[in-house]
Amino acid sequence: MTKEKEKLLEIELKIGKILRAGVFISSAVIIIGLAMFVFTGHSGYSGTTYPRGLSEIVRGLLEFKPFAWLMTGLFLLILTPVLRVLASIFAFAKEGDRMYVIITMMVLAVLVLAIFLGHTGA
C-alpha cells in the first residue's frame, strides 16, 4: 500500500472514531434524559414549555431537568456530522488538496446556514 493510501486510511479511521464517539456520547445523554423522565414522570417544565435557548438548556442540565438532557443529546447528535465535516476540512488541508478543502468548506457553510435558519424559524 502506498503512503498516500495509508494516510487516507488513517484519516478515514480518525473520522470514523469521531462519528462513533459523537453517536455514543449523544446516545448516553439521551438515555440519561429518558431515564430521568421515566423515574420522575415529568419533563421538568410546566405544560407545553421547553427550553428555547442555549442558556436555558444549560440551566436545565444543571438542574437535572429530563427534557433539557434529551434536547442536549439531540443537539449533540446533530452536531456529530458537522464535526465530521470540520475534521474533513483539516484532513484535506493536511493532504494539500485545496479543491476538496474549498468544497468541504462550502458544505460546512450550507450546514451552518441550515442550522441558523432552522433555529430562527425562517
What would the 3-class secondary structure string for 40-90 be?
HCCCCCCCCCCCCCHHHHHHHHHCCCHHHHHHHHHHHHHHHHHHHHHHHHH
Do the Cβ atoms of 28 and 61 come closer than 8 Å?
no
The residue-averaged pLDDT of 52-79 equals 88
Prediction pTM value: 0.76
Q: Which of 58, 83, 71 is nearest to 30 (CA)?
A: 71
Q: Which pLDDT score is estimated for 119?
A: 66
Q: For the segment 4-48, what is each residue's pLDDT rounded down to a tens digit? A: 777 778 878 888 888 899 999 999 999 999 999 999 888 788 777
Do the Cβ atoms of 79 and 108 come closer than 8 Å?
no
pLDDT > 70 fraction of the chain, expressed in percent and rounded: 96
Q: Which pLDDT score is estimated for 81?
A: 86
User: Would the pLDDT of 120 be above 70?
Assistant: no
